[in-house]
Structure 1
Amino acid sequence: MSDDVLDAPAAVVREAFRNGTLTPVDVLRRTLERIETRDPAVNAMAYVDADGAATAAEAAARRWAEGSPLGPLDGLPVTIKDSVQAVGMPWRHGCAAFADLPDSTFDAPPAARLKEAGAVILGKTTMPDFGMMAAGVSSLYGITRNPWDTSRSTGGSSSGAGAALASGIGFSSVGTDIAGSVRLPAGHCGLVALKPTQGRVPHTAPSTMRSAGPMGRTVDDVMDMFDVLSGGDVRDLWSLEPPAAPTAREPLAPHGLRIGILGELGAGFGADHAVQSVLADAAAALRDGGADVSAMAPIFRDDPYPALDRLFQVRAAAELESIDEGLRGLVHPAIREWCEPGARRTATDFTRDGEAVARSAELVRSATAAFDYVISPIIPTVGFAAEDVGLDPSHPLSHCGFTAWANQTAQPAAALCFGVVDGMPVGIQIIGPRFADTDVLRLAKWLEAARPVTLVWPEPAAVHLGGRR
């Protein structure tokens, strides 16, 4: 059943907090009820912290009653990914081998920022083992399903965040992204997401490849969370201080902008006709808005993915070897089998692959630098089955070509639904120059208003389709 509160834009709920017709306690109650009715169908929630959320909601209600809210997220229900450490909550990294680890004793920067902003953290969302799968399949949590069609995948690795938001659970969510892991679920589930410039959103452990990033149903909601999450943090040596001047929030009109359309990479999975058609619709909207729109030539002559895949294999193999040998069999077999060669890579192999990836990243940076912004597909197909680990079962991240390279170039990249094909949302990616995170979101906001379809959020039926949820 739809809910005029939970399905409203966050700005509407904030106004109700302001005029006293609604309190954060009311919204939390409705949200917990929605989790009970909708989560069984999609399996989005890894952990629900009802007591902690109630304490946060009560404190937020007092602040709103006193006219002193902490900011735009104060009192709003949000979620965080399993991989984000938060005091008193479990950290399982999607893996059954970690099921008995003690609860976290510290807040990672994204969790700390949300608490400082008064957000009501409902709990944690599901993810695949080690975050090394662009699908909603986990040895610990089972299958996370797409609310638009529960036989279809959410993508990953922020799979539960995608399923929760598209189910109307929470107004925004923190995911993490190493090869597309906030953008891919956004593409599968009809959402908005931002993989920020590396360092713009601090996280632990520091990484030049992985970023925490905001996800939501609207660009405005993602902007609100991005403003809260971004800024320097001494625990992340790559973190960046926020811009000195206030950032603009109005849509970025494309008139006069040079926009590149990257429809093909030249290697790996190519985008199918339905995805290309949605991309063409976005290009036409930008052209009608006065942009100078040009088709880009494929970037790669030779396939750059194998070297990047081997870097990921080594990363996963290191995590596998950190697990007690007697528990390694609990790791999802697709991950174990895929990363096993990584344990045999030498230091010189790893360095050589790193150099190859850097050369490929420079090709991407150089190609995109010829334009103010570039739009591309997110996923090369209109999704796949919920049980699948990806388009290539032996290489679970191999279909992430359109998203993975923005992690290597450190460029901001947003995801936005721009079409619906056979009842399933299809997203586009908007890539900008480093540090232009806000402008990338502003262009996404313009495109959101120009979108040729109106999204009507699904109401997933509370049924299980066999196997673990």
Structure 2
Amino acid sequence: MASSSSFPHLGRPISELTAAFAAGDLTPVDALEATWEHRAAVDPLINAVPYVDVDGARAAAEQSARRWAAGEPRGALDGVPVTVKDSINAIGLPWRHGTKPNEHLPVATVDAPPAQRLREAGAVIVGKTSMPDFGMLASGVSSLYGIVRNPWDLAASPGGSSSGAGASLAAGLTWAAIGTDIAGSVRLPAAHCGIVALKPTQGRVPHLAPSTVRSAGPMARSVADVVEVFHVVAGFDPRDTLALAPDAGGRADAFTDDQVSTLRVGLLTEMGYGIPADDPTLRTVHAAARALEDAGAEIVPMRSPLAPDAYDALDALYLVRALTEWEGHTDEGRESVLAPLVRWAVGARRLSATDYERALLRVAADQQRFAAAQSDVDVVLSPVLPTAAFPAEAVGMIPERPLEHCSFTAWFNQTGQPALSLPFGEDGGHPVAVQLAGPRFRDSVVLALAGWLERSRGRVPDWPLEPRPVPGHVWEVQG
């Protein structure tokens, strides 16, 4: 198995890899070859990168090597092996949206905006990462790909829907990835897999099809690496009719202690519905709050404005979205879609048009209440997940409503705010993360505070470059 000893830059920061390119100690072709070798050893265990573009990646790496040799790299990502999620079109790679009915679609001939920006920056797109059917599960179970496993604990889920991206980064397969997030789908796998991911301000990272709630977002092992990727993929693209104008702000350097001391930080530990955060999760969030308070930040306890039935309307919107995609397939195709997802999605058939409109209005009202509750703080600190892990075979923590456990993440999609997942603790061999969310357009604040918290954490996660079971751990699978 390729390991950190056979290729010492596996699992190391992007800056160290590109410094080696600049010094001539290795080339982008060397990094790509190490990626292929490591994937061959690791991916059969975690099932994270089902499609690779051997010829395209090799050509890109060779072109990058020539640029580095000439002292003319395109930037901080030139020659860096990366992946994109199955739901993001990339030339030469298939788009399957995680579902078996799409397995015979032709490969893409056009890059979606995130893939195009990566290529323009010289990054080497190695391949596509796994995801569940339609991207409508917060787990790694798919009718097409089977089960994606968490390299921290092969019996555990990597989360979803950017399942393969989270698992592959934790295992050191590449240095960065682009996922997408509609209810937490970059932040949830980041939390499960001990990496960092940003759901940006809605529209900051262009993506297709345009959406008011779904964002493409950068994922990597460190805040600094996420910053590098974010500044590449956040460029304006007119194909996304909801894309924001270019950000005039500067780069997001980590805050100093003096900057942290000026902040009012809202501490949100319950959402008013759903699975409550368990003790290890709460301990981790409070540890992050203490670090901020010790630096002089004001910690402001927050109460969620959401009622116990708030998720019902949100679930209705997810149901209709999933059912619409399912019904778009042939009868044969519909039969091959993941059965638990179908059992959930067909619940949309009981909804009338006026039921759906009422759900839209309820979600809009709750979204406004949730945004207003944050009006007097600079940033919100919360859990990402209510608990660290659940079985790899499960479609969610609550199988009958598989997105309900996304309570801490989903509402930031509705408000369009930037939100980030940062590993900050551990529970029984599983990473535990905290979430930082800021006002719209303040992505740099979220990233800068995350950089400070990452530094205050005092240790680097022991990423499982060789995937491992958790000794003695037995899951009880439900549903």
TM-score (norm 1): 0.97
- Letter of the 2:142 partner, please give it: S
Aligned to 2:27: 23
Match of 1:153 among 138, 147, 157: 157
Note the C-alpha offset of 1:268. Answer: 1.3
> 2: distance between equivalents of 1:183 and 1:242?
24
C-alpha distance after superposition, 1:60-93 (max 9, x if no partner)? 0011111111111110000000000111211111
1:357 has 2:357 as partner: no
Aligned to 1:227: 231
Aligned to 1:80: 84
Match of 2:286 among 280, 287, 297: 280
SS at 2:154's partner residue?
strand
1:162 has 2:166 as partner: yes
Note the C-alpha offset of 1:304. Answer: 0.9
Checking the alignment, whether the CA contact within 8 Å between 1:46 and 1:82 is kept in structure 2 is no
Aligned to 1:55: 59
> 2: distance between equivalents of 1:203 and 1:155?
22
Aligned to 1:96: 100
**5+ residue gaps, structure 2:** 475-479
**5+ residue gaps, structure 1:** none
> 2: distance between equivalents of 1:81 and 1:66?
32
Match of 2:50 among 46, 69, 73: 46
> 1: distance between equivalents of 2:100 and 2:456?
43
Note the C-alpha offset of 1:461. Answer: 4.4
> 1: distance between equivalents of 2:11 and 2:327?
44
- Letter of the 2:202 partner, please give it: Q
C-alpha distance after superposition, 1:309-339 (max 9, x if no partner)? 1101101111011101121010001111111
- Letter of the 2:442 partner, please give it: A
Note the C-alpha offset of 1:436. Answer: 0.4
SS at 2:72's partner residue?
coil
RMSD: 1.4
SS at 2:373's partner residue?
helix
Deviates more, 1:451-460 or 1:438-447: 451-460
- Letter of the 1:421 partner, please give it: D
> 1: distance between equivalents of 2:249 and 2:322?
40
- Percent identical residues: 52
Alignment of 1:166-177 (within 5 A): 166-177=170-181
C-alpha distance after superposition, 1:5-35 (max 9, x if no partner)? 1222110111111111111001101111000
1:410 has 2:420 as partner: no
SS at 1:427's partner residue?
strand
> 2: distance between equivalents of 1:239 and 1:300?
29
> 2: distance between equivalents of 1:343 and 1:233?
36
> 2: distance between equivalents of 1:132 and 1:118?
31
> 2: distance between equivalents of 1:346 and 1:324?
24
> 2: distance between equivalents of 1:204 and 1:99?
20
Deviates more, 1:383-392 or 1:296-305: 296-305
Checking the alignment, whether the CA contact within 8 Å between 2:182 and 2:413 is kept in structure 1 is yes
Aligned to 2:271: 265
- Letter of the 2:47 partner, please give it: N
Checking the alignment, whether the CA contact within 8 Å between 1:279 and 1:376 is kept in structure 2 is yes
- Letter of the 2:306 partner, please give it: F
SS at 2:122's partner residue?
coil
Match of 1:36 among 37, 40, 46: 40
C-alpha distance after superposition, 1:164-195 (max 9, x if no partner)? 00000111100000000000000000010000
- Letter of the 2:121 partner, please give it: A
Note the C-alpha offset of 1:209. Answer: 0.6
SS at 1:399's partner residue?
helix
SS at 1:149's partner residue?
coil
Note the C-alpha offset of 1:235. Answer: 0.8
SS at 1:407's partner residue?
helix
Checking the alignment, whether the CA contact within 8 Å between 2:86 and 2:129 is kept in structure 1 is yes
> 1: distance between equivalents of 2:58 and 2:209?
29
1:419 has 2:425 as partner: yes
Checking the alignment, whether the CA contact within 8 Å between 1:95 and 1:331 is kept in structure 2 is yes
- Letter of the 2:180 partner, please give it: T
> 1: distance between equivalents of 2:68 and 2:312?
53
Match of 1:454 among 449, 456, 460: 460
Note the C-alpha offset of 1:453. Answer: 4.2
SS at 1:194's partner residue?
strand
SS at 1:418's partner residue?
strand
Note the C-alpha offset of 1:245. Answer: 4.4
Aligned to 1:438: 444
Match of 2:300 among 287, 294, 305: 294
- Letter of the 1:443 partner, please give it: L
TM-score (norm 2): 0.95
Match of 1:131 among 128, 131, 135: 135
Note the C-alpha offset of 1:452. Answer: 4.7
1:337 has 2:343 as partner: yes
- Letter of the 2:334 partner, please give it: R
> 1: distance between equivalents of 2:468 and 2:449?
37
Note the C-alpha offset of 1:51. Answer: 1.3
